[in-house]
């Protein structure tokens, strides 16, 4: 068996030990005579996994008692809609910092629900985003129902080094592509959401960490199933959850805990990003880094070559060398290496070696 170096943007690489455990337990989970997928989501066997997954998220992110952790479906995209459905009351307006395609989609959904305002945007005339704004550039509405920020922009490869603030207003984070990639003070945020398929596990689960007060004051005039309180009250077992996804997430969380948690992986992530940016800078004859230095992401590294043909050839050569998933997002082109938590330093080193020696 040969495992490739996987730089896919999501779904993305999973820790080998999490996959091996799933392989070993596939046919008979914990002596139950069946796989975890075949258990009832109400059975004690599954409930043990479910509770452990929630407890591990709480432990790894130091989620305070003031916040609930929900495991939902529909991806981060559903949260684009569900956040304003719950938190944007009639007559209120919400603030959005638009730093990429996902932020644009988020505000589009909010505008269907009520009023939403661009508090800052770094969009260029060609629709691309090469930086995140400074706090000074953001025009805050002190009365806003919430203040929405995308912490890491998966497509462009930008990331806030300091998450912006809006004093007195609940801050909502789309942390899909950097959750648990670096420490975050959960207590400061009203709501944090993330699709699992980058740093947490397989696709199919969305983690929502929400201040209990926002659950309490959330709208009651929307369908029950979309109300956060429905899922908080049912411990995220209001209906049939993707049980295998939760099980895999649990395995990934155990791996992260064993490794030393979020602060330990953050150090490794910084090192991975530093090595990759260094090689790209050293070979400026060939590679162009377009994102402003202060806005560079440590999760998604993007770069260009002189032409689309040259980029295609580079991706093809990399693929041949076992370096997979480097084609940039279709909206922006170029190349992108997603170096999420589960991408080991050895994969980044293999990529650095390839890029350093590449001759078109």
Please report whether residue 311 would count as binding ligand PMP according to CB under 6 A: no
Q: Are 41 and 243 in contact (CB under 8 A)?
A: yes
Cβ-proximal residue to ligand PMP, closest one: 75
Please report whether residue 10 would count as binding ligand PMP according to CB under 6 A: yes
Single residue of 102, 129, 189, 340 touching ligand PMP by CB under 6 A:
102
Distance spanning both ends of the chain, measured CA to CA = 30
CB-based contacts of 233-238 (< 8 A; 24+ apart in sequence): 235/50, 235/54, 236/50, 236/54, 236/69, 236/70, 236/71, 236/72, 237/41, 237/42, 237/50
Computed on alpha carbons and rounded to an integer, the radius of gyration of the chain in Å comes to: 21
In this chain, which stretch among 173-181, 247-255, 309-317, 339-347 interacts with ligand PMP, using CB under 6 A? 173-181
Residue 102 among the catalytic residues:
yes
Binding mask 128-157 for ligand PMP (x = CB under 6 A): ----------------------x---x---
Residue 267 among the catalytic residues:
no
Residue with tokens 């377009």: 290
CA angle 49, 53, 55 (to 5 degrees): 115
In this chain, which stretch among 63-71, 75-83, 210-218, 267-275 interacts with ligand PMP, using CB under 6 A? 75-83
Taking the C-alpha atoms of residue 335 and residue 232, their distance in angstroms, rounded to an integer, is: 40
Single residue of 8, 39, 99, 176 touching ligand PMP by CB under 6 A:
176
In the DSSP assignment, the letter for residue 178 is T
Exactly one of 95, 178, 198, 303 is catalytic; which is it? 198
In this chain, which stretch among 54-62, 73-81, 258-266, 343-351 interacts with ligand PMP, using CB under 6 A? 73-81
Q: Which residues are catalytic?
A: 102, 174, 198
For ligand PMP, the binding residues (CB under 6 A) are: 10, 75-77, 102, 150, 154, 174, 176-177, 195
């Amino acid at each position: 068996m040969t495992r490739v170096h996987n730089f896919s943007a999501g779904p993305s690489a999973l820790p080998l030990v999490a996959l091996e455990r799933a392989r070993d337990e596939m046919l008979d989970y914990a002596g139950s005579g069946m796989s975890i997928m075949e258990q009832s989501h109400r059975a004690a066997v599954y409930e043990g996994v479910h509770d452990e997954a929630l407890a591990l998220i709480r432990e790894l992110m130091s989620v305070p008692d003031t916040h609930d952790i929900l495991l939902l479906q529909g991806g981060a995209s559903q949260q684009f809609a569900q956040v304003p459905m719950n938190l944007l009351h009639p007559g209120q307006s919400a603030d959005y910092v638009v730093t990429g395609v996902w932020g644009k989609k988020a505000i589009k959904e909010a505008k269907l629900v009520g009023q939403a305002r661009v508090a800052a945007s770094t969009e260029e005339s060609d629709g691309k985003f090469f930086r995140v704004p400074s706090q000074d550039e953001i025009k805050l509405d002190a009365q806003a129902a919430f203040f929405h920020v995308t912490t890491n922009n998966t497509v462009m490869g930008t990331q806030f080094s300091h998450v912006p603030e809006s004093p007195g207003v609940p801050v909502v984070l789309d942390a899909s592509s950097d959750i648990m990639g670096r420490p975050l003070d959960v207590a400061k945020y009203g709501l944090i959401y993330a699709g699992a398929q980058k740093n947490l596990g397989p696709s199919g689960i969305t983690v929502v960490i929400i201040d209990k007060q926002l659950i309490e004051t959330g709208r009651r005039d929307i369908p029950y199933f979309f109300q956060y309180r429905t899922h908080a009250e049912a411990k995220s077992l209001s209906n049939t959850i993707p049980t295998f996804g939760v099980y895999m997430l649990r395995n990934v969380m155990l791996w992260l805990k064993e490794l030393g948690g979020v602060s330990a992986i953050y150090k490794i992530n910084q090192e991975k990003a530093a090595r990759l940016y260094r090689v790209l800078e050293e070979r400026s004859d060939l590679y162009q880094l377009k994102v402003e230095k202060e806005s560079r992401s440590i999760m998604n590294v993007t770069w260009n070559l002189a032409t689309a043909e040259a980029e295609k050839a580079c991706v093809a050569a990399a693929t041949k060398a076992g370096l997979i998933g480097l084609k940039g997002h279709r909206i922006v082109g170029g190349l992108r290496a997603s170096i999420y938590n589960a991408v080991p330093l050895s994969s980044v080193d293999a990529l650095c070696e390839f890029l350093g020696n590449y001759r078109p």
